[in-house]
Amino acid sequence: MVDVAASPSDAIVLRRDEAGPAGAKPRHALSRRNIFLYGTLIVVALYYLLPLYVMIVTSLKGMPEIRLGNIFSPPVEITFEPWVKAWATACTGLNCDGLSRGFWNSVRITVPSVLLSIAIASVNGYALANWRFKGADTFFIILIVGAFIPYQVMIYPIVIILREIGIYGTLTGLVIVHSIFGMPILTLLFRNYFTSMPEELFRAARVDGAGFWGIYLRIMLPMSLPIFVVAIILQVTGIWNDFLFGVVYTRPDTYPMTVQLNNIVNSVQGVKEYNVNMAATILTGLVPLIVYFISGKLFVRGIAAGAVKG
Amino acid sequence: MSNSERPNQLFRNLNAKIASIPMVLTALVVFVGGTAWTVLYSFTNSKLLPRLNFVGLDQYYRLWATPRWLISIENLLIYGVISLVFSLVIGFVLAALLDQKIRFEDTFRTIFLYPFALSFIVTGLVWQWLLNPDFGIQRVVRDLGWTSFSFDPLYNSSIVIYGISIAALWQGTGLIMCLMLAGLRGIDEDIWKAARVDGIPMWKTYLFIVIPMMRPVFITTLVIIAAGIVKVYDLVVAQTSGGPGIASEVPAKYVYDYMFFAQNLGQGFAASTMMLLSVMIVIVPWAYLEFGGRRRG
């Protein structure tokens, strides 16, 4: 050992970030390492923020200014006209009532889908964690492996099933589809959470005579609110952002916001109004963005829970 | 309650079984049944309506003789390699930078991850605007005086798939960064101390000690990226609608267009079965390791 200076107290202070060859040297705010570190992070952060900035800036400009100017320059004259137009009068095909229609459709799709899918998956995860029956694990594994099957393989059979039931093209049909495809990840989430809860709790409730639903409603549900929040975040963003199911399982008058947005922006007729397009794009991204910025760490936890298991 | 009597095996744990009906139906009817149905009908000559008129492998021969499908596959491969390599490298580097006990870590993480909250449609439309040759980056650079500057990936059929990959990377690397960061946080501090005592430089510690230790995280991440690659659809629809011409077509779009526009169901089924096959090549070994291993434990 060459480094004799390392006293026990130094060893505690030693941190990962002082890994340089000089050992436990006091940190300088403007060391070369820090300039490199923060410099890189700031440049990358600017790159990530740039599209959001350009979106906002473009949506606040008038069309003449866009034609003449630079996409990065801030608006000379701020106008909210594009926002109003995008929300209320932008056209898709023959409908000229703007994105508001898509917005309310998306609300009508997202709210019941989130509630239904979470209700099903939480009870399901609870059954898998605490009330195992023979074969339950087999179905669960099928469910998890099934989550990786490309949706394209299953969309047509589901079209047939929905048509047979008579709900193809309705919002109800789409809600069911979202509940089906949300099931693997949510069931996994809830199963893992309920499994990690102390077994004694469950046993005590059983001794006291509580049944399947009693334990779920009175013990499991109140104790697992954080995981419900995570699930809600996961589902709200996922369902709001969906495009494929919306385009397959709904009709033009029930299109969700993403589908309508794409139709507005990529429509071939008419003069392209880039400011309206960008306003519409922000409006569509707003709901998941708000969810994201409010939820903060829980969002990260949600995707981490969904991704890294066990 | 009738189940207190427990008349036979079937009614034991009845409530749990009732609660699991949606899962069982989804697993059996949609996942297994739906997949089997599609695979079965991919051997038929269904056009507008599905019909059980078997033609053997005809649909597959036709599929692999269709230029649009071949372009789709080529695009998927390029897009896949780019996504895989760049999102892993960028995601890991960003995670490693954030793991240096820096200040404002939460702010940086929030910024890197926010595109992931946006849909592929929104992502695609923003980047369509940024890459617009008349107004976007190309115009800005030209206005600066470099008049011969050319950067119009979405309008150049030989590089259009790279333009799409730029948007995909912007949207998705934040997620990979978060997964990697979780993995890095799982590494024992003692490893770092030991490496430091031995005088191993930091980059070497990452490359030869930390990354091999993060193998499980990398495998999971790989599976997630791979599954996402095959599904790519909305992004292409929003950014280019498959154009210019058919230069940026992808398999998922091929399937959709043949099923719902070209009214050639058989082709759509055959193409989706090929997608399934490619996913299975990745998933089956992973599922075997994951679940096979867990059962032993």
Q: Using CA of residue B22, residue B25, residue B31, residue B34, what is the dihedral sign?
A: negative
- Given a cut of 50, is residue A16 above it in pLDDT? no
Tell the residue number behind the tokens 């595109």, with chain if given: B115
Task: Kindly state the DSSP code that residue B152 receives in the 8-state scheme.
Answer: -
pLDDT-derived band at A3 (thresholds 50, 70, 90) equals very low
**Nearest-angstrom CA–CA distance, A248 and A159:** 8
Percent of chain B with pLDDT over 90: 45
pLDDT-derived band at B293 (thresholds 50, 70, 90) equals low
Q: Chain B residue with minimal CA distance to A233?
A: B117
> In the prediction, which pLDDT does B296 show?
45
Burial B97-136 (b: 16+ CB within 10 A, else e): bbbbeeeeeeebbbbbbbbbbbbbbbbbbbbbbbbbbebb
Based on the number of CB atoms within 10 Å of its own CB, is B152 exposed (0-12), middle (13-18) or buried (19 or more)? middle
> Which residues on neighbouring strands pair with residue B54, listed in sequence order?
B44
**Nearest-angstrom CA–CA distance, A145 and A136:** 14
| More confident position, A108 or A66 | A108
The ipTM is 0.87
On whether residue A271 sits in a domain, the answer given is no
Based on the number of CB atoms within 10 Å of its own CB, is A80 exposed (0-12), middle (13-18) or buried (19 or more)? exposed
Q: Indicate the angle between helix axes A225-241 and A297-307, nearest 10 degrees.
A: 80
Percent of chain B with pLDDT over 70: 94
On whether residue A251 sits in a domain, the answer given is yes
On whether residue A281 sits in a domain, the answer given is no
> Which residues on neighbouring strands pair with residue A71, listed in sequence order?
none
**Nearest-angstrom CA–CA distance, A110 and A238:** 9
> Which residues on neighbouring strands pair with residue A92, listed in sequence order?
A95
Q: What is the pTM of this model?
A: 0.87
For A217-257, the pLDDT digits (tens) are: 988 899 888 889 989 988 999 999 999 999 999 988 889 99
> In the prediction, which pLDDT does A310 show?
31
Spans of all domains in chain B: 1-41, 56-296
**Three-state SS for A169?**
strand
Percent of chain A with pLDDT over 70: 88
A157 and B34 in contact (C-beta within 8 Å)?
Answer: yes
> In the prediction, which pLDDT does A28 show?
63
**Three-state SS for B147?**
coil
CATH number reported for the structural domain that contains residue A299 in this entry: 1.10.3720.10
CA distance B74 to chain A (A): 18
**Three-state SS for A268?**
coil
Task: Kindly state the DSSP code that residue B9 receives in the 8-state scheme.
Answer: G
Q: Chain A residue with minimal CA distance to B273?
A: A153
On whether residue A113 sits in a domain, the answer given is yes
A219 and A205 in contact (C-beta within 8 Å)?
Answer: yes
Instruction: Say if the Cβ atoms of B27 and A139 lie within 8 Å.
Output: yes
Residues of A in contact with B34 (CB under 8 A): 153-154, 157-158
For B111-160, the pLDDT digits (tens) are: 999 999 999 999 999 999 999 888 888 888 888 888 888 888 888 888 99
What value does the mean pLDDT of chain A take? 84
On whether residue A242 sits in a domain, the answer given is yes
**Residue A193: alpha-carbon gap to chain centroid:** 20
Q: Which of A159-168, A171-180, B189-198 has the lowest mean pLDDT?
A: B189-198
Q: Using CA of residue B38, residue B41, residue B45, residue B47, what is the dihedral sign?
A: negative
Instruction: Say if the Cβ atoms of B121 and A128 lie within 8 Å.
Output: no
Based on the number of CB atoms within 10 Å of its own CB, is B4 exposed (0-12), middle (13-18) or buried (19 or more)? exposed
Q: Is the peptide bond before B153 cis (omega within 30 degrees of 0)?
A: no
Stretch 168-197 of chain A: residues touching chain B, C-beta under 8 Å: 179-180, 183, 187
- Given a cut of 80, is residue B5 above it in pLDDT? no
- Given a cut of 70, is residue A1 above it in pLDDT? no
- Given a cut of 60, is residue A83 above it in pLDDT? yes
Residue A148 CB neighbour total at 10 angstroms: 21
> In the prediction, which pLDDT does B258 show?
92
- Given a cut of 50, is residue B163 above it in pLDDT? yes
Stretch A90-97: mean pLDDT: 76
Residues of B in contact with A155 (CB under 8 A): 256, 259
The encoded tokens of residue B265 equal 């169901």
Tell the residue number behind the tokens 């009906």, with chain if given: B21
> Which residues on neighbouring strands pair with residue A169, listed in sequence order?
A250
For A36-68, the pLDDT digits (tens) are: 899 999 999 999 999 999 999 999 988 888 888
Q: ∠ at Cα B126 (A298, B77), nearest 5°?
A: 85
> In the prediction, which pLDDT does B19 show?
86
Instruction: Say if the Cβ atoms of A288 and B22 lie within 8 Å.
Output: no
Q: ∠ at Cα B28 (B23, B32), nearest 5°?
A: 125
Contacts of B293 (CB under 8 A, 6+ apart): none
Please give the residue range of the domain that contains residue A245: 102-257+288-307
pLDDT-derived band at B94 (thresholds 50, 70, 90) equals very high
The encoded tokens of residue B116 equal 């992931």
Number of domains in chain A: 1
CATH architecture of B56-296: Orthogonal Bundle (1.10)
What value does the mean pLDDT of chain B take? 87
B59 and B45 in contact (C-beta within 8 Å)?
Answer: yes
> In the prediction, which pLDDT does A48 show?
95
